[in-house]
Amino acid sequence: MNRITLSILFLFLLGGTLQAQNKKELLAQVNSLNAELEGVKAELLESKKSEKISQARADSFESQLKGLEENNAILLENLNNFTGQASQRQDKLSGVMESLRKKELELKFINDALTSNDSISLLVLTNFKQTLGENANIKVESGAVTVIIDNSTLFGTDPNSIMLEEAATDMLNKIGGVIKANPEMVVTLEFHTDDANSWENVYSQAASIATIIGNPADVKAERIAVSRKTDLVKSLHIRLHPNFNLFYLRLRQNMKK
C-alpha cells in the first residue's frame, strides 16, 4: 500500500516536473518565436524604409531625367535657332561681301578710267606743246585739253568769214595730227562769238575747220561736236576730252557683271 502510494506520488512529481519543464520549453520557444517575429518585423520595416527610399530616389531620378530631357529639348531648339540665325547672318554677310566686291570693282573701274584719262590728257597736253610750241594758248580743265585760237587768226579781219587763213590751216593740220594720235578722245569746237554771228554761220565755220582737222587725221564726224558761247572775246576753243558717253556705257556694262 505504501509502495503504491509512493509510486503514485513519484509519478505525480515526475509529471509535474515534466509539465514544468515542458512549459518552460514552450515559453522558451514562444520567446524565441516572438524574438524571431520582432526580427522579421524589424526587417520588414527596414525593407519598407528601404523601399520608400528607393522609390523616393527613383522618383527623384525620374524627375531629374524629365528635367534633363526638357533642358536638352530647349538647348536643342536654341541650337537650331542659333544655327538658323547664324546661317541667315552668313547669307547676309555673303550678300554684303558680294555687294562690296562689286562696288570695289566699280570704283576700281572708275579710278582706272580717271587715271587713264588723266594720263591721256597729260600726253595730249605734251603733244600740243611739242607741235604748237610753248607759246600756244593751251589750258587743262576737268580732264579736257583746250587749245584757244583767236578768231582773227582763223578768219582774218572779218569775224563772220568762213574762209580760213593760210597760217590757221597749218596750225589746224598740226592739231589734227594730235587728234588722230588720240582716238579715245572726242573733239568739241566751242565758238566764242557775239549774238550777231548766226548759228548757220557758226556751222559753216565749223565745217571749214572740221575739213582740216578731220581729213588728215581720219577723224570721224561723230567725234566732233559743235557748241557756241556768247563772249566779247571772239575765239575758238578746240577741246579734246574723254568720250564720256563711251565711259558711261562701259560703266553700265561693268555694273551689270
* Residues 154, 155, 160: CA angle, nearest 5 degrees: 130
Sheet holding 224-230, edge to edge: 138-141, 144-150, 235-242, 185-193, 224-230
Tell me the pTM: 0.54
Of 242, 238, 120, nearest in space to 181 by CA? 120
d(CA 83, CA 77): 10
Residue 105 C-alpha cell reads as 570693282
- Residue 35 is given by DSSP the state H
Residue 225 C-alpha cell reads as 561736236
Residue recorded with cell 515559453: 27
Q: For residue 86, tell me if it sits in a domain.
A: no
Q: For residue 35, tell me if it sits in a domain.
A: no
Q: For residue 187, tell me if it sits in a domain.
A: yes
Instruction: Collect contacts of 145-149 with beta carbons under 8 A, ≥24 apart.
Output: 145/121, 145/239, 145/240, 145/241, 146/237, 146/238, 146/239, 146/240, 147/175, 147/237, 147/238, 147/239, 148/235, 148/236, 148/237, 148/238, 149/235, 149/236, 149/238
Residue 66: predicted pLDDT: 79
In order along its 257 residues, the chain shows pLDDT tens digits of 555 665 665 555 555 565 666 667 767 776 776 777 677 677 777 777 776 776 777 677 677 777 777 877 887 777 777 777 767 777 777 777 777 677 666 666 555 555 555 666 677 778 888 888 888 899 888 778 899 999 999 998 887 888 999 888 989 989 988 888 888 888 899 999 887 778 888 899 988 898 888 764 466 777 788 889 888 888 999 998 877 555 444 555 555 65
* Residues 204, 209, 215: CA angle, nearest 5 degrees: 120
Q: For residue 24, tell me if it sits in a domain.
A: no
Q: Where are the alpha helices (DSSP H) in 133-230?
A: 151-155, 166-181, 199-214
Residue 88: predicted pLDDT: 77
CB proximity list for 213: less than 8 A, separation 6 or greater: 172, 173, 175, 176, 179, 187, 219, 224, 238
Please give the tally of structural domains in the chain.
1
Q: For residue 58, tell me if it sits in a domain.
A: no
* Residues 178, 181, 187: CA angle, nearest 5 degrees: 60
CB proximity list for 169: less than 8 A, separation 6 or greater: 212
- Structural domain range at position 161: 116-255
Q: For residue 65, tell me if it sits in a domain.
A: no
Q: For residue 107, tell me if it sits in a domain.
A: no
Q: Are 174 and 227 in contact (CB under 8 A)?
A: no
Residue 184's CATH number:
3.30.1330.60
Q: For residue 75, tell me if it sits in a domain.
A: no
d(CA 211, CA 189): 13
Residue 67: predicted pLDDT: 77
